[in-house]
Amino acid sequence: MPTQPDDHPKTALWPSLAKYARSLCVIATVLHLAACSSPPKQNNLPREDVTLRDIHDPATPRHLPTVLDVQPDRLKTAVIARYHLPLYRSLDHIWSQTNQSAIPSVPRAMWAANGLRVSIISEHELNDFIDALPTPLGSFQTALSATEYPTPIRTSPRLRKPVVIDLTTPPYAINETRAKGGRLQLLAKLVHDGDSNSLQLTPHHYKTKSILRRQVDAVRAGQPGMPSPLQSALEGDIYKQLAVNIDLPEDKLLIIGLYWPWESQIKKAKDLAALKAYERKMRHAEQRHKQQAAGKSSTKVSSAQDINPNDIDPGPITSQADLPPDVTPPNLQNNLGRALFTGNYTKVPIQTILIVGLRDANPSVNTQYQSSASEAGK
């Protein structure tokens, strides 16, 4: 009987495809068993000695760096008192009682150009200095460790407007920059010179970096990995041109505040007050002379020309209320001093003064210093 031709030629391929699929499964099974049977890669250390320290990224150091290593004999306690005073008060007469000449003239002039003022007083002068201050709106005292690592002792609010930083070093050309965003800080660092201790003060513009920028800067510096918290606290610009070293033994105190001189305003106010007083005395003298000439008065009076305006004392001018109506306080520029040492306290404009003293690193601080600060705040 003749074989009938297949009406569906595709059905003849199924046995071949099934056989090919079985072959692939066998090959895959053999490869899997071979992979599973290969011995695992052994660690060089015994299993019981493997710790988390051995699991690390080869790109980072095996041991974490020491964050801060301070020798006991190189540690001091910085006692800082803050006094919030009314803003529109002249403190020129108070600063004149301090030893501003203890600060080198060039750094002192550079600080003044940025609205900052720093001076020294002896510890026995503290009570008189505090008594001469206007009545504080608030006073606070803190203590922190003073080490060889820069530490912020004053921080501004977040900057909303650019602040002009004058880095000009006399007698060289003008060098100014602007701090935008972030915060301004005043860093304090303990400097040892033999048996003496100095405090180095440096303005700092703190501005955080993005994670990407931190990693890029670390790679460029040859130190891959994330920076330590202390390194992150110094991100931004440190104005080393404005750094000043101040010798500060334990019997001395450092005064830091706003440089906002009222000299021209006070002089103008005194001149106006003296002029008005002089005019009143001239009128009174002329009137008395007329009375004497008419025989109504036998009292001899000096002529108006004999009155010296320099002999007239208009009284102290220490606040805006003491200024004549046509004399306004000096312009307060948007500089470091304004950013760091002015603000608002209980919705009242204020200026702040810092009093800083160094003590041995122990829990107790100078009781006289404490009591003086607390009594002034009452």
Alpha helices of the chain — where are they, by DSSP H? 14-37, 92-95, 105-113, 126-132, 211-220, 229-232, 263-293, 336-341, 367-376
Q: What is the largest CA-CA distance in the chain?
A: 176
For residue 337, what are the contacts with CB-CB under 8 A and spacing of at least 6? 114, 115, 116, 117, 257, 258, 259, 260
pTM over 0.75: no
Identify whether 162 is preceded by a cis peptide bond (ω within 30 of 0).
no
The whole-number mean pLDDT for each consecutive block of 10 residues of the chain, a chain of 378 residues, reads: 48 53 59 53 46 42 43 76 92 91 92 96 94 92 87 94 94 92 94 83 89 71 68 87 93 95 77 72 74 64 55 67 77 93 92 93 46 43
In whole angstroms, give the CA distance from residue 333 to residue 113: 10
Per DSSP, 63 falls in state S
**pLDDT computed for residue 66 by the predictor:** 39
Main-chain phi, psi angles of 95, to 5 degrees: -65, -30
Buried b (16+ CB within 10 A) or exposed e, 249-283: eeebbbbbbbbbebeebbebbbebbbeebbeebee
Question: How many CB atoms sit inside 10 A of residue 140's CB?
Answer: 13
**pLDDT computed for residue 200 by the predictor:** 94
Domain ranges of the chain: 72-261+333-376, 264-322
The CA-atom distances, in angstroms, between 231 and each of 28, 218, 237, 243 are 55, 11, 13, 19
Local structure of 173: helix, strand or coil:
coil
Q: E-assigned strands of the chain?
A: 76-86, 116-122, 138-146, 151-155, 163-166, 176-179, 183-193, 196-206, 236-238, 244-247, 252-258, 342-345, 348-360
Amino acid at 10: K
**pLDDT computed for residue 226 by the predictor:** 66
Per DSSP, what are the bridge partners of residue 191?
198
Question: How many CB atoms sit inside 10 A of residue 332's CB?
Answer: 16
Main-chain phi, psi angles of 352, to 5 degrees: -115, 140
**pLDDT computed for residue 34 by the predictor:** 53
Nearest to 158 by CA among 187, 182, 186, 185: 182
In this structure, the chain runs to a length of 378
The CA-atom distances, in angstroms, between 92 and each of 132, 237, 265 are 11, 31, 12
Residue located via tokens 């009314």: 86
In whole angstroms, give the CA distance from residue 187 to residue 201: 6
Nearest to 137 by CA among 88, 185, 94, 95: 88
